Amino acid sequence: MSYSVFNFDKDPRACRIICTIGPASAATATLKEMILSGMNIARLNFSHGSYQSHEAIAHKIRKIAQQLTRPVAILQDLQGHKIRVGHTEAEKPIVLHEGQKIYLGFGERVSTERIGIDYQNITHYVTSGQHIFLDDGSLELEVLTITGKDIHCQVNLGGELKSRKGVVFPDSRLDFPLLDPKDEADACFGVSLSVDMLAMSFVRSATEIVEMRLRLAACGKEDPFIIAKIEDREGLENLGEILPVANAILIARGDLGVMLPREKVPGIQKNIIQQANAFGIPVITATQMLESMTYHDKPTRAEVSDVHGAVISGSDAVMLSGETASGHHPVRAVQEMDRICREAERELRSTYIEIPVRSQENMRDKIAASAVNLAHNVKACCILAFSSSGKTLKALAAARGNIPVYGVVGEESLLRKLLLYRGHSLIVIPHKKKLENLIDHALKQLREQDIANINASIVIIAREEEPEAKESYLLKLYLLS
């Protein structure tokens, strides 16, 4: 029997860390350090870069992960219906000053006289007195008049504007196709790269996700893992219909904080996390988590509190964006994120509350909740779970226990998909032998890695195939001798 090169993690962190890969983190040495520092998922932002550059990075990540025996998933993040400015001359930022008058309209060129954006006929959707935000709200324009095909604006909040930064029209309801043609092409290219997860930006309805699944199936991708990014009022209003068709939810606080009053974002974040937790799918908190580390080698106290609070409130993953894509300290940002998450998890472990085994849940969820409660009650060192489909491990993550879960799956591609679910350390053993043999091998590895010692208690959970049973599960308390 052949096994994957991955080993169990002796000190697993429950909350996952997603890192955006960009110019600051694309070097092999930097990627190695980021993986060793705790990166679980590498985000490829398809709003930037070329197919060639993304392909090169994906292959590099796969190779390094194998060398380090550390599994890393690849997340393809589609641009979505995001409007962006064009390019500045020589890709150098321009500076807008408060009170300055400037034109904005369809086009590629960005200067201090006119800002080109990639949305045609924008003048049909705005009126005098409305506001326009650039770069996650860092810059603010006010519409003065409509002049032909351009909008004449005044700068109310100035600053630097770089190429390809986002543009938001919070007072307008713009017209977009169900799926952006660029997203469709990019998603099919992602299939050729065998990306593990796909994030759809500005998801407004369940229909968009269903349609993307059909398009991916046509490209040869069955059962894709789709993350719905909640970024605007419409997506927030339709969260109830989005949850059942998405594999995970991402709280994109940057655009949420522009489309909606900033002071409402913390409450919105808490509400989305609670709904995703209750539904049993992973939820990612993102945007500006350690923003100051783009330039500084330490985060602010407020940023530390933000990450800590996101973990405490139930985030399955936290994400770094510009901090690792273009920041001066990408590795240190991952290290800081890792330390904050671990401290929050120590606090969670000290306040464990028994998980209710609800009658309306399916049998797998009940067994998972029972396994977590048993592990806590007997002070087990870990839970050892076996899953051919990943459903048992997903149920354990949804139970939200604070005991380390060591999982054994049959395929490496499934292992990487499960990296977004909290609390798992995973290895691959092809599920071709009897469960007893799989258990023996996994227990041996736990011993050899000094994870489980003599007299340690381990809770074992698996679904067993029984010829006479519709469903059959194993829940076993194992005391090492």
Residues that are catalytic: 43, 84, 229, 287
Query: Positive or negative, the Cα torsion across 417, 420, 424, 427?
Result: positive
Comparing CA positions, the residue from 272, 197, 185 lying closest to residue 232 is: 272
Q: How far apart are CA 412 and CA 72, in angstroms?
A: 11
- 378: Cβ contacts below 8 Å, ≥ 6 apart: 457, 459, 477
Comparing CA positions, the residue from 78, 318, 76, 251 lying closest to residue 181 is: 78
**Tokens 């007072």 sit on residue:** 171
Q: How far apart are CA 413 and CA 416, in angstroms?
A: 5
128, 153 contact by CB (below 8 A): no
H-assigned helices in 143-264: 181-193, 206-218, 233-237, 239-242, 253-259
Q: How far apart are CA 253 and CA 266, in angstroms?
A: 9
Q: How far apart are CA 321 and CA 327, in angstroms?
A: 9
At residue 110, the 3 state secondary structure works out as strand
At residue 146, the 3 state secondary structure works out as strand
**Tokens 């490209």 sit on residue:** 219
**Sequence-ordered strand ranges (E) for 302-401:** 317-320, 382-387
**Tokens 């194992």 sit on residue:** 478
Q: How far apart are CA 325 and CA 382, in angstroms?
A: 35
Structure tokens at 420: 């977004």
Question: Order of strands across the sheet with 457-463?
Answer: 424-428, 405-409, 382-387, 457-463, 473-479
Q: How far apart are CA 105 and CA 123, in angstroms?
A: 8
Query: Positive or negative, the Cα torsion across 81, 72, 25, 19?
Result: positive
